Amino acid sequence: MKKRKNLLFAIVILVLVAGSVTTWAISRANSKPATINSRYLEAFFQRYVTSLGSQNLDQMMSFYSPDATSVMAWGVEMNNEARRAYYAACSKAFPNAQFHTKRFVIEPTSVTSGYVTWEFGIKSGPQMAPFMGVYKKVESTGKEFDQEGVSTGQVALVDPSNLGEIKKLEDQVAALDKEIISVDEQIAALNEQIGTVKGGPSVAEGTTNSAERFALAEKRSELAQRRETADQQLLDKAVSSIKFTRQNSFQNMDAFLKKIGGK
């Protein structure tokens, strides 16, 4: 449960400035091309959200490219060094924070690049240390979320050399799919053959057919396991190759600081 806390790593205290911002961001995301598979981007974002619940800054920062930029409150831009320090301060001030993604949409420009827009809610919990100069131990308000907002991130495969390995793994998965289909067809043909034998199969035929079906079932099981392993390797490689290159958070930091200051 503890590991689900500390989600203020990503809290960036992202507060929605106005309803028009959400309308702009979601409308933009809804224009995604339907022909581009967003599987890798969806897996990337889901793992990113999961990382926000960890206490490992290195893990969370691994989702950003070396020169990634975040536009924070008041239009302030942060590089990776500043972002790491900021997230560490968030974690120290709000160790029990929980981050919830209410909705997200993907706008792919390729299978490994595009935009992610997400709405979120934050349950910050009691403040335990100063945050941006404000410190007052205010207990939970009892509301579903202490903070709500929207953020948009641009993501891309920053190292093109990874494309070769991704394509190799995709071909491997496709080849295994083809083998599995072939085995399924053989099993179906065997079942049909057994069903059309006049008067039913003889003992010898039954024994042979049973042995064949058993062997085919064993082969299919082994192919399915290999396919699962290869597909997991593919997903891991694709996701680890994708990074945030820029992030924009629409927020009202003044309102949040006023809230935690108890004024």
Domain tally for the chain? Answer: 2
Do 139 and 176 have their domain in common? no
Mean pLDDT for each consecutive 10-residue tract of the chain (263 residues)?
40 35 49 76 95 84 95 87 90 86 94 95 82 68 74 94 95 97 93 65 60 92 97 97 94 74 54
Do 81 and 173 have their domain in common? no
Residue 187 lies in domain: 162-237
> Residue 20's pLDDT is what?
39
Do 33 and 122 have their domain in common? yes
CATH number at residue 125: 3.10.450.50
DSSP the chain: -GGG--GGGTTTT-----HHHHHHHHHHHTT--TTS--HHHHHHHHHHHHHTTSS-HHHHHTTEEEEEEEE-GGG-EE-HHHHHHHHHHHHHH-TT-EEEEEEEEEEEEETTEEEEEEEEEEE-----S-BTTB---PPP-SSS-SEEEEEEEEEEE--TTHHHHHHHHHHHHHHHHHHHHHHHHHHHHHHHHHHHSTT---HHHHHHHHHHHHHHHHHHHHHHHHHHHHHHHHHHHHHHHEEEEEEEEE--HHHHHHHHTT-
> Residue 52's pLDDT is what?
85
Do 17 and 85 have their domain in common? yes
Do 11 and 36 have their domain in common? yes
**What global pTM score does this model have?**
0.77
